[in-house]
Amino acid sequence: MRALKALDLKLSTLTAAGIETQLAVLEGDLGRGRALLAQTRGEAERCDSMFMAHSLAYLEGLLEPERTGAPKRRAVLQLFSSHGWRDPRRAVAILCPVIDTLERARAEPHENRELTTA
């Protein structure tokens, strides 16, 4: 990760921040993960890296209660679909692979969950 940041290029810095965000969430540090998520998503928007920004919005939707998170995730998938992605969820997972783990954990019975996302 240090090597990515050391390149001092917007894309490498943004990629490193996205990875750091996802690792915080995987480690169960949801407070830090949410803070990094907001910061990284804002930076992606400022850099016009809209696919990264929207992928992070999908992750944000996974960390929210279903009532607010599900519509956010659907909107992201619709956006990717409107840009020609035949499998928009896969496109999001390419940029934000932690969603696979989070969605598997969400599908498990509550008592077996390793990650609490709500």
Taking the C-alpha atoms of residue 20 and residue 50, their distance in angstroms, rounded to an integer, is 19
In the chain, where are the structural domains located? Answer: 2-112
pLDDT beneath 50, residues of the chain: 4, 116-118
pTM value > 0.85: no
pLDDT of residue 115: 54
pLDDT of residue 3: 56
DSSP structure class, residue 111: G
Given a contact cutoff of 8 angstroms between Cβ atoms, the answer to whether 53 and 41 are in contact is: yes
> In the chain, how long is the greatest CA-to-CA distance?
43
